[in-house]
Amino acid sequence: MFKIGEILSHHSDMMPNDSYPIGYYPDLGCIMVNSKRCKKGEKNYLWLFGIDRMDLKCDFKTWLDRMIMAQGNTIGKWFR
């Protein structure tokens, strides 16, 4: 997970304007928040920006719960 001050430094011109990075999965890519979905109150606003774009189909709380259950193991397969 990135610190608040690191979020802007990890954002690149290649990333969509409606999303910002909040963390990084090794070998998968940046964990992104879709700000449009979040502002609308939608629950599924997290996605991965990497070689493949992957909708994580969850909010931050659900993602964090899944990370705790997986004990830090890669959980990218859960979202495919």
Least confident of 7-11, 25-29, 66-70: 7-11
- With 90 as the cut, is the pLDDT of residue 74 above it? no
In one letter, which amino acid is 62?
T
Q: For residue 73, what pLDDT band results from cuts at 50, 70 and 90?
A: low
Q: Render pLDDT for 25-61 as a digit per residue (tens, 0 to 9).
A: 888 889 999 999 999 999 999 999 888 888 999 999 9
Strand partners, 24: 30
Determine the Cα angle at 34 with ends 29 and 36, to 5°: 165
Distance, CA of 25 to CA of 75 (rounded, Å): 10
Long-range contacts of 29-32 (CB under 8 A, 24+ apart): 31/1, 31/56, 31/63
